[in-house]
Amino acid sequence: MRTLILITSHFPYYPGESFIETEFPFLYPAFDRVIIIARDVSSIKARPLPSGVKIYLYNPSSTLFEYLSVPVLLTRNLKNTVSILK
């Protein structure tokens, strides 16, 4: 199973990182699972994404559950995370 973990500042939320919106339709089909970790989210308005894309918020205003879910997410995908870092 191929997993894409995309760590962004804002995407899929506005404003910023509009280049990802253009590239995402080309990236998405190449993976079985797509996870987006967005930081510094100040807007609740999000760009439309295909169904099945998981979005996690990781910022100071996140809930405790969202804050703690990022390390758990990376641990669950440890093999993928290590191969990405190599």
Question: Cα–Cα distances in Å, from 26 out to 10, 20, 37?
Answer: 19, 10, 19
- pLDDT tens string, the chain, 86 residues long: the values are 788 888 888 888 888 788 888 888 888 888 988 988 888 777 778 888 888 888 887 765 667 777 777 787 777 777 777 776 66
Query: What does each C-alpha distance from 81 to 16, 71, 72 come to in angstroms?
Result: 26, 11, 12
DSSP 16-63: S-HHHHHHHHHHGGG-SEEEEEE-S---S-B----TT-EEEE-STTS-
Task: Determine if the pTM surpasses 0.75.
Answer: no
